[in-house]
Amino acid sequence: MPPAPQEVFAYAADQVEQAACGLWPQAEVRMGAVTPSVTSYVQQLDVDGRPLFAKLSVLGVSLVSLLRGSCGDWAAVRNTQAAYVTSPGSLLEREAAQLAALAGPADLHVPQVAGYRDGVLFTVPAAGPTLADLIGKEPGRTAELLQLVTGEVAAGLRRRGVAARVKRSEIRERSITTTFLRKFNGLSGEAYLRQTEHAETLTAVVTRLRRAQRVPAPSTRAVVFGDLKPEHAVFPDAADGRPVFLDPGLMWGRPAGDAAKLVSRVVLNLIARPPGDVLDARAVLGGIAAFAASMTARSDRAERDAWLRQLTVMWLMDTTNILSTYLSAPSGLPLGGHAVAVMAKAGAVCDMLDRSTAALVSFRDVRSVWLLCLDNAAKAATS
């Protein structure tokens, strides 16, 4: 039988508390609320009055996969996890190394690492509005804000010494393409999609994306942030200062990868916004179009088309990845408000994916496909 959520969460809370007491044996440790997540176990705590976040990854897989039984029953998971957290190169050990690289040679602002022990990573919270908050407040600034965030990241990752550090601690588990190919691999992928309520549509979407992914792409690779979501860029001084970047997934990847994840999640936020929200969808999508154009303003036609195709394919892949994760989440796994809102609009998201991937494999002109995908996003956001 798959692990029960209560077993996993009780174990994780105990591991967090033990790690905290081991790092700060003389301190008063007060355990706080669990932050809903479909990936890692995240919990707030207080150590001698100092607020912290603790993160624990079980076997480096998502909580959804774990609770669906992909790693065996709870006894098997416990036995394997005991070895995993002490092995070199565990997921959160690499994340701690990446935060050090970002704060060091990359000269980016990231949460301070308070400690790491026995597979648990402790960080200091970063306060302030997120990129998602700022876009929601000022949709007309969407292009400017996306350019600010991606420009800051790109400049940091190009700095001397970063590439060598990343090579030793890549987190390819957070790659859009790697995640897509792992999730939708053969018979196991079909079984996975049957756990959703939109299996027929999503199966067609996945088939088209696999076909699109096989089209030869430029071999150019660059160091990318890997998990650049709107909620992973926090502005302590609102939009007037440098952002703090959370939860890195640094890796060598396609240059459009970071932009694609941002576009995917901004569009999902737009579709899932609360009823009655007067956010101007056209302003946000127009900002996304302007942002994409700015990213290739100095490129020739062939380079521009290749980048735009990468962006479009990876955007749709990422949306398919996260939507299917939400829809297959087992009962008993706490979901955040965003996940619940996306699930409530799953039909609109699936329709957007269906129409957009059909165009992707049917039309040859990349710009026409891109504009059609934005139009499909607008329809989903206003449905």
Name the phi and psi angles at 235, rounded to 5.
-110, 95
Residue count (the chain): 383
Give 180 or 216, the one with higher predicted confidence: 180
Q: What is the structure's pLDDT at 218?
A: 61
Closest residue by Cα to residue 237 from 116, 127, 158: 127
Q: How many CB atoms lie within 10 A of CB 344?
A: 12
Q: What is the structure's pLDDT at 98?
A: 97
| Strand 244-245 to 251-253 pairing | unpaired
Euclidean distance between CA atoms 349 and 248, whole angstroms: 26
Q: 17, exposed or middle or buried, with CB in 10 Å at 0-12, 13-18, 19+? A: middle
Question: Domains, the chain, ranges and CATH?
Answer: 5-123 (3.30.200.20), 131-381 (3.90.1200.10)
120 pLDDT exceeds 70?
yes
Mean pLDDT of the chain: 93
Q: List pLDDT tens digits, range 246-258.
A: 999 999 998 899 9
Q: What is the structure's pLDDT at 220?
A: 75
Q: How many CB atoms lie within 10 A of CB 280?
A: 13
205 pLDDT exceeds 80?
yes
Q: What is the structure's pLDDT at 238?
A: 67
Under the banding of pLDDT at 50, 70 and 90, the label for residue 227 is very high
Under the banding of pLDDT at 50, 70 and 90, the label for residue 241 is confident
Q: What is the structure's pLDDT at 240?
A: 63
What is the C-alpha radius of gyration for the chain, rounded to an integer number of angstroms? Answer: 20
Query: What mean pLDDT do residues 361-376 have?
Result: 94
Euclidean distance between CA atoms 31 and 34, whole angstroms: 9
For residue 58 the two structure tokens come to: 């079980």
Measured between alpha carbons, how far is residue 378 from residues 291, 345, 351 in Å?
16, 13, 12
Q: What is the structure's pLDDT at 26?
A: 96
Q: What is the structure's pLDDT at 350?
A: 98
Report the predicted TM-score, pTM, of the whole model to 2 decimal places.
Answer: 0.94
Q: How many CB atoms lie within 10 A of CB 335?
A: 16
Under the banding of pLDDT at 50, 70 and 90, the label for residue 274 is low
Q: What is the structure's pLDDT at 86?
A: 86
- Return the bridge partners of 56, or none: 41, 120
